[in-house]
Amino acid sequence: MKQITASIITIGDELLIGQTIDTNSAFIAQELNKIGVWVKRRVAVGDNESDIWQALDDEGKITDIIIITGGLGPTADDITKPLLCKYFGGKLILNHEVLAHVTYLFEKVYRRPGPLMEANKKQAEVPDVCTVLHNARGTAPGMMFHKDGKVFFSLPGVPHEMKGLILNEVLPVIQNQFKMPAILHRTAFTVGAGETMLAEMLKEFEPALPASIKLAYLPSYGMVKLRLTTIAVTNEAGEKEIEPYFEKLQELVMEYLVTNKDEGLENVVADILKQKAKTMCTAESCTGGYIAHRITSVPGSSAYFLGSIISYANSVKENLLHVSPHTLSIKGAVSRETVTEMVAGALYKLKTDYALAVSGIMGPGGGSEEKPVGTVWIAAGNKEKTETTRLNLRFDRNRNIEMTATYALNFLRKFILNNP
């Protein structure tokens, strides 16, 4: 079966200068992958007509599907729609269905006073050579074009609107027009071993994989994902081929394996707590609530996460968590003793089954010879027991915070499993 491929073109100077982070491409690629379309290239271009034109030419030569986002607004710097008219040999016409939708949004949803402005009416102008895709979430319609056997989609750059069009309009069209193989991924999530160490553990496994299965190492802050990928005629055939190798992969890295799903540690901890019907809280100093943020990013986290005390200042550690002034004076805020008392204080204040505490020096300043930047103490405990560990990180402030959160959540995971 022929592999169907796609290119994603994102348009906007703000993307090139880093003012806006391109999250659209990641979402589009993930959704295409789910239905069996392989994303071959992702391209970012500025608000320049010749650059956009060239990108359309280049991607149209190598992929079956080209998805464009951005440049469809009502202002003068949004040049995508006029350019597409020229590129596909059409002219702009007023689409009355789109105009009715725009009018409905401004009058009934946005409740804007006064008549519809001309700039807003222009949103209803589309090339006469396109198929209009209904944008239920905004005023700029999506558009579909065909050229030389390739299909082009143009979508607004606003993420919320783009996502609606991808899910409700674009994917159904692609699935109707193309017959696609199945793309299967299996991901093992590890913490505590670097990419090089894992590669050494898998030095005999990887060369023995069949040509149809690829292994990828995906390192991030404090963890590495190991992903096996195969492309098959059907999901059933792909699963039959990949599963024995994935089972073997998990056995080889079992010491560092956290989960065999492509999910975050916060999801893993959530599942454990829900299965055990237990609750937790955090007492955070150096991470400033970031661990709590990760935990509460999981829908339904209120079932097991009761709250957090962000004790950034020593006075808060003393007054809210009842950390002893003597401990802070003699041992310091970044110490085994302090995080142990933070756990006890959090358990007392928030009445949870488990507590997780962190205190450290994130940098760039604040370190000493005894406690350099990157020194972090972590404690996890319940009413019967508290365990601690020390990190010696060496990165910039943001990465130190990210890695502390990852290691802390994994430390809590292991504590819960070992102390039921």
What phi and psi, each to the nearest 5 degrees, are found at residue 353? -80, -35
Q: Model confidence over 85-127: pLDDT tens digits? A: 999 999 999 999 999 999 999 888 888 888 888 888 888 999 9
Taking residues 207-229, what's their average pLDDT? 95
- Asked if the model's pLDDT at residue 1 lies above 80, the reply is no
Report pTM: 0.81
Q: How confident is the model at residue 275 (pLDDT cuts 50, 70, 90)?
A: very high
Instruction: Name the token pair of 54.
Output: 């060239």
What phi and psi, each to the nearest 5 degrees, are found at residue 144? -125, 135
- Cα–Cα distance between 38 and 1 in angstroms, integer? 13
- Cα–Cα distance between 98 and 135 in angstroms, integer? 9
Which runs of consecutive H residues, i.e. helices, occur in 35-179?
Answer: 49-62, 80-88, 96-104, 118-121, 159-165, 171-177
pLDDT of amino acid 297:
97
- Cα–Cα distance between 69 and 166 in angstroms, integer? 11
- Asked if the model's pLDDT at residue 74 lies above 80, the reply is no
- Cα–Cα distance between 147 and 133 in angstroms, integer? 17
Cβ atoms 379, 415 nearer than 8 A: no
Say how many residues make up the chain: 420
**Domains along the sequence of the chain with CATH:** 5-177 (3.40.980.10), 182-259 (3.30.70.2860), 265-418 (3.90.950.20)
- Asked if the model's pLDDT at residue 77 lies above 80, the reply is no
CB atoms within 10 A of CB 54: 13
pLDDT of amino acid 114:
80
Taking residues 337-358, what's their average pLDDT? 98
Q: Which residues contact 155 (CB under 8 A, 6 or more apart)?
A: 67, 68, 69, 72, 133, 142, 161, 162, 165, 166, 170
Taking residues 195-221, what's their average pLDDT? 96
Taking residues 156-178, what's their average pLDDT? 96
Q: What is the mean pLDDT of the chain?
A: 95
Cβ atoms 223, 403 nearer than 8 A: no
E-assigned strand segments in 348-420: 354-360, 375-381, 386-392
| 173, HSE (Cβ side, Cα atoms, 13 Å) | 20
Helix axes 49-62, 80-88, angle to 10 degrees: 50
pLDDT of amino acid 73:
72
Q: Model confidence over 348-405: pLDDT tens digits? A: 999 999 999 999 999 999 999 999 999 999 999 999 999 999 999 999 999 999 999 9
Quick one: how far is CA 205 from the chain centroid? 29
